[in-house]
Amino acid sequence: MTENILNFGHGDRLTGTLTLPPESSAAKSTAILLLNAGVIHRMGPHRINVKLARHLAEQGFTVLRIDLSGQGDSLSPERPQSFEQQAITDLQAAMDHLQRITPVKSFALAGICSGAHHGVATALKDERLRALWLMDTHAYPTPRTYWVRAMRQLQQQPIATLHRWSKRILRMPGASSGAKPAPTPMNDNPYGKPSKAEFAADIQSLLNKQVRLQIAYSNGAFWTHNYQNQWRDTFKDHGAVASVPTELLPDVDHTASTLNAQRHLMASVSRFATQFD
């Protein structure tokens, strides 16, 4: 495979790394975009984007790892826009440039957390983005979510958990039970969280545009999404949205910090990518 550094966008202020498939393989007509997760450089947390780009290139995909404006090696925009609109502008610039220098016809995007939100926002605006693999996007707990969470606490810290529950029931004031504090929900989403109805409407709009979707939740989202059919239960009153393919990745943490987690994450994206030509 071949890797090249690209500069593109207005004034060539954006930077990305282009990974091309081996000359011996038949190149796919769909290119895959990878971008920053939160404020992490385009290499991705623990270099997962580098590994994923090379893995996908071996399968025949053209892959571009992008630093959005003001992140990594990309310069800040001369005329800043809103956070969401700037990400859309940057991704559109990346697609424009790839279509100028390669024969690709359409695009897919694999995004983690804020990268997932950028993908949704861009696909709603640009017909060229035809497929989205989204990890740890918005999550909406159901009653079962809280039950699964409570059982995990009880399994891990039975005495401390029972003591804390009894204090709540009896409304007894007093010192801390000594239990570990509840995990803080992930918060690297500058978009703000839409209501369930608003998010369902966006997903339905993507389905209407025939955008292929795969939703994945890592173990890092356990506090808000923690069982296999939660998506279906959450959106059961929202028609086709409830049937969007979802996957629980219990062996993957939010930043894919172990080699085992990275293998599972790359396998999930690869399974999704087999749908493209």
Domain-located, residue 174: no
Say what the pLDDT of residue 225 is: 97
Domain-located, residue 176: no
Domain holding 19: CATH number? 3.40.50.1820
Distance CA 65, CA 273 (A): 16
Domain-located, residue 86: yes
Pairing of strands 14-20, 2-8: antiparallel
Say what the pLDDT of residue 190 is: 57
Domain-located, residue 164: no
Domain-located, residue 177: no
Q: Residue 177 pLDDT more than 70?
A: no
Say what the pLDDT of residue 85 is: 94
* Reported pTM: 0.89
Domain-located, residue 169: no
Residues 6+ apart with CB under 8 A from 78: 10, 11, 13
In the chain, the number of structural domains is 1
Domain-located, residue 16: yes
In this predicted model, which residue has the larger pLDDT, 231 or 158? 231
Domain-located, residue 63: yes
Residues of the chain with pLDDT > 90, as a percent, come to 77
Distance CA 277, CA 264 (A): 23
* Structure tokens belonging to residue 31: 């290119």
From the centroid of its chain, how far is CA 52?
14
Contact between residue 132 and residue 119 where contact means Cβ atoms under 8 Å apart: yes
pLDDT, mean over the chain: 90
Lowest average pLDDT, out of 58-62, 183-187, 226-230, 244-248, goes to 183-187
Query: Which range marks the domain in which residue 49 is found?
Result: 2-141+185-273
For 112, how many CA atoms within 13 A lie in the half-sphere containing its CB?
Answer: 31
